[in-house]
Amino acid sequence: MAARAKVEAVTIRAARESDLDDVAAIERAVFNDPWSRRSFVDLVGQRQVVFLVAVDGRAVVGYAIVLLTPPESELANLAVSRLMQHQGVGKRLLTDAIRAAREQGNKEMFLEVRESNAAAIALYSGEGFTAVGRRVRYYARPIEDAIVMRLDLRR
């Protein structure tokens, strides 16, 4: 029950440049081949980007990035700090990211996910994404295929 109360205290909002040290730290902690901090700087405030952060008090505990290329969108990145994983933060970020893409008039959303990332695949499947393809050797460190997933945003 304590975990649920903690997750309910998390707020989702647009990312700010002041969030980027926390975002980059989460990125380095959870991904083997992390994006650079500079990659995130270039996305803050861009019109064609939805960049959300999950905040617990004053600390960023997760983030989601959607690239808008109407009529399609791409969930380019979603991560939650190790301490907050499996508590619903990722689902809240994903739900808000999907809502934002819909509000921008996008008709579908795509993403790539490591084929071994069962937790992420379950999260995405639970929100209606379906596997539509594979990108062979897409990921480095370690080399692994990506599963391409799609969500129809018109539903």
The catalytic site residues sit at: 112, 124
Gap between the terminal Cα atoms of the chain: 33
Let me know: does 114 contact 61? Beta carbons within 8 Å: no
Q: How far is CA 11 from CA 57, 67, 117, 120, 154, in A?
A: 8, 21, 26, 21, 26
Write down the number of H helices and E strands in the chain: 5, 7
Q: Is there a cis peptide before residue 34, judged by omega within 30 degrees of 0?
A: no
At what angle are helices 89-103 and 118-126 packed, to 10 degrees? 50
